[in-house]
Amino acid sequence: MPDNTGGTASSLEKGGRIEQLERWILELARKWEYVRPIYKPYVEGLENLPADGRFLLVGNHTATASTEILLVPYEVHRQIGHKVRPLTDRHFGRIKGLHADVLEAAGAIIGTPDGTRELMRANEPILVFPGGAREISKGKDELYTLLWGDRAGFARLAVENNYPIVTAAVVGGDDVYKILTTRHGWWGRLNKAVASLTGARQDMTIQLMRGIGPTLLPRPQRLYARFSEPIDTTKPQGVSSEDWVAKVREMAKSSLEADLADLQRIRSTDPFRHLTPWAWRSAVMPPAG
C-alpha cells in the first residue's frame, strides 16, 4: 500500500508557509497605514468602487510593476474591506518556491478563463493587467502606453458574467527609473535575437535603465491613481456578443488612457512628485470626494 504521508506533510508545510506569509502581508499593510501620510499617494475615485466587491479592476502595468501591484489592492481593501484577487501572467505558473508562495498568499491566481469564472461566481474583486509582462518591459517611447495587442479575454469574461469593470490607472512607476532604450531599436533587436536562440519570450525586452545618477538606486516618485466609475457590461438586446465584447474592451481602454493622460498632467504640476520633503505641504491633493 503506497505511503502518502510525505505528500500530506509537504502540503501541510506549504499551507503553514502561506498562512505565515498572509500574516506578514497583513502586518505590512497595517504598518504602511502609518507611513502612508508621509508618501501621500494621490488617489481618486475610491467612492466609485462597488461596496459588494463584485467588479473587475482593469489596470495598466508600469516598468516598476510592484507599484501598481501593491497600491491598487491596498487602496481597494482599505476602502471596501475586500481582498483583491490579482490575475497573473500564465508564464508565472512556472514559478516555484518562495515567489509562488508569496503570489498565493497575496490571493493571486494564474489568469485562466476557468479560474477567472470561478472568482466571478464567488463575486470577488479581481485585478487584471491586459498588457501583461509586455507592458512591464516597455521602452522609453512607450511610457504609460497600453500594450494590449488584440487581447480581449477580460472583456469577454466580464460580459459573460455581467461583471462591472472599474479601470485603475496608476502613474509614477514609469518614472522610478529612466529607461534608455526602445523595444524596436538596436537593443530591442539584440534582445529578440538572444531570446530566439535561447527559447525565451521574444516580447520581453530587458531595457537598459538607470536610477539616481548612474546607479540603479530607484528615484523617489509619488504615485497617482484613479478608479473610474463602473462600466456596465450587460449586453443590450439586438447587439451581437462579439460586437459588445469589442465595445466593452474599447470603453475600458479609452477610460484607462484618458485617466493616464490626466494623471500625467496632474503629476507635471505637482511640487511633491519627486517626494521632495520640503514640498510635502505643497503637494497637489485629489478633490474631496
Provide the mean pLDDT of the chain. Answer: 89
* CB contact at 8 A, 235 and 159: yes
CA-based torsion, 72, 107, 88, 128: positive or negative: negative
Average pLDDT over residues 265-273: 98
Least confident of 5-19, 232-246, 268-282: 5-19
User: For the chain, which residues make up each domain, given as ranges?
Assistant: 10-174+219-279
Residues 6+ apart with CB under 8 A from 283: 40, 42, 222, 270, 271, 272
Give the pLDDT confidence score for residue 1 in this predicted structure: 47
Q: Name the pLDDT band for 6 (thresholds 50, 70, 90).
A: low
pLDDT tens by residue, 80-130: 999 999 998 766 556 666 666 666 667 678 889 999 999 999 999 999 999
Alpha helix stretches (DSSP H) within the chain: 5-39, 66-80, 98-105, 113-121, 132-136, 153-160, 186-198, 241-268
Q: Which of 271, 195, 197, 256 lies closest to 62 in space, CA to CA?
A: 256
DSSP 184-197: SSHHHHHHHHHHHH
d(CA 139, CA 63): 9
Q: Which three cell numbers stand for residue 222?
A: 509619488
Q: Quote the pTM value.
A: 0.89
CA distances in angstroms from 200 to 66, 88, 193, 207, listed in the order given:
23, 18, 10, 15
Quote the CA–CA distance of 37 and 281 in Å, as a whole number: 11
Span 10-174+219-279: which CATH code?
3.40.1130
pLDDT higher than 50, residue 268: yes
Higher pLDDT, residue 102 or 165? 165
- Residue 262's pLDDT band, with cuts at 50, 70 and 90, is very high
